[in-house]
Amino acid sequence: MSHPTAWQPQPRGAFQGYWMAPGAGGGVPVWLVVDDGWLALLAPGQSPSGYVDVFRVPVRQAQVSSAAQRITVTVGGTAYPVLARPLGPVVGSVLGVAGAAAGLAGADLVRGGSTVARGGNVAADAAAFSRQGGPAFLAAARRSGVRVRRVGYGVLLTVGFGVGLLVALLVTVITFAIVL
């Protein structure tokens, strides 16, 4: 007897990224694959295909969350974060520190350049996420029945803008309270 949904095409999707494996000292190149009702994390290893399963579970046993350029798959209480660009967060942090230091030193041109570079870094992260199959993987996982939660760049930028606006308002109110 065949599977009851065998006549229906099963969603397929893959995301190529870098698993931030504990103790790996950086990102391990991996594939996240959803196919035929299964979700798998494939890492380089000794097999005919060159990849081995880190895990392979039915889609109902996995949960996927995604924010910015990262997809995190949680299976059995263990989270497996996979980044499109593993150096993106590092570059962003370095540029943020450089911009802050330039601001303190009064080097406005350097600070502005750092801000522009941070924007370019975010754009590079978003492009890598898209190019490496992030949106297609998330759509296939969702259609397969995986619980998927996505927070995109728009939401992150809106929250960042809102927090910045609240901080500016708070500083203004405190300044006026002290002056008056």
What pLDDT does 151 receive? 77
Residue 154 corresponds to which tokens in the numbers above? 């728009």
Instruction: Kindly report the average pLDDT of the chain as a whole number.
Output: 86
**pLDDT value for 51:** 86
The residue extents of the domains of the chain are: 12-84+132-179
* Amino acid sitting at position 76: G
Q: What is the pLDDT of residues 111-168, one digit of tens each?
A: 888 888 888 888 898 899 999 999 999 999 999 999 998 876 677 677 777 888 888 8
Give the tokens for residue 80.
């497996």
Q: What mean pLDDT do residues 77-87 have? A: 91
Assess whether pLDDT exceeds 60 at residue 52: yes
pLDDT in the model for residue 133 = 93
Neighbours of 37 (CB within 10 A): 15
- Exposed, middle or buried by CB within 10 Å (0-12, 13-18, 19+), for 79? exposed
Domain 12-84+132-179 in CATH 2.30.29.30? yes
What is the reported pLDDT for 8? 57
Long-range contacts of 28-36 (CB under 8 A, 24+ apart): 30/54, 30/82, 32/71, 32/73, 32/82, 32/137, 34/59, 34/137, 34/140, 34/141, 34/144, 34/146, 35/10, 36/10, 36/12
